[in-house]
Amino acid sequence: EQGGTLTFSDEAIERVLQLSSGHPYLIQLLCQRIWERAHEKESDKVPLIDQAFVEAAVPNSLEAGYQAFAWLWDGLSPAEKIYTAAFAEATEEGGTIAEDEVIHILATHAARLRTQEVEMAPLDLVRRRVLAEVDDHIYRFNIELFRRWIRAYKPLREVKDELDQIDPLADQT
């Protein structure tokens, strides 16, 4: 805006902050994609960015930020990965879910996981600020863009298959 190449509505600014949770890199990533989309076509008018325009830039932002999200993902333990994959699949934006519901989902899809590791995952994910505890044993994702990236690029079925390849004996159970 200061450079006079874009104008953001208040709702668009709020949406960028909601999606990024105020993380500077994610704000930059999303706003760069917004700017690129807004200037795809030559025009003398300064584009007005609204909430829908911000939302339309999200898929490209997830793709462009793949390496950064993968770096975060790679820092998670196997139990944290399977937990977040199940969590992301089971929730929508801003959604909360009880710890026991995630455990139930995992029992259906990945019964062989060691219960103690999975039960510790939410506490570790809160410490890492991936999840936030909003009530007693009820959680939500801290960063919506990361939830969407996991949902798009690390679906539960694929994460389970990947973990099964790490421990071939698990495939037999």
Q: Calculate helix-pair angle for 99-109, 115-127, nearest 10 degrees.
A: 130
Distance CA 18, CA 31 (A): 13
* pLDDT tens digits, 90-115: 999 999 999 999 988 888 876 666 56
- Check: pTM over 0.85? Answer yes or no: yes
> What DSSP letter does each residue of 150-164 carry, written as one string?
HHHHS-HHHHHHHHH
Binned at pLDDT 50, 70 and 90, residue 65 comes out as very high
Over its C-alpha atoms, the chain yields an Rg (Å, rounded) of 18
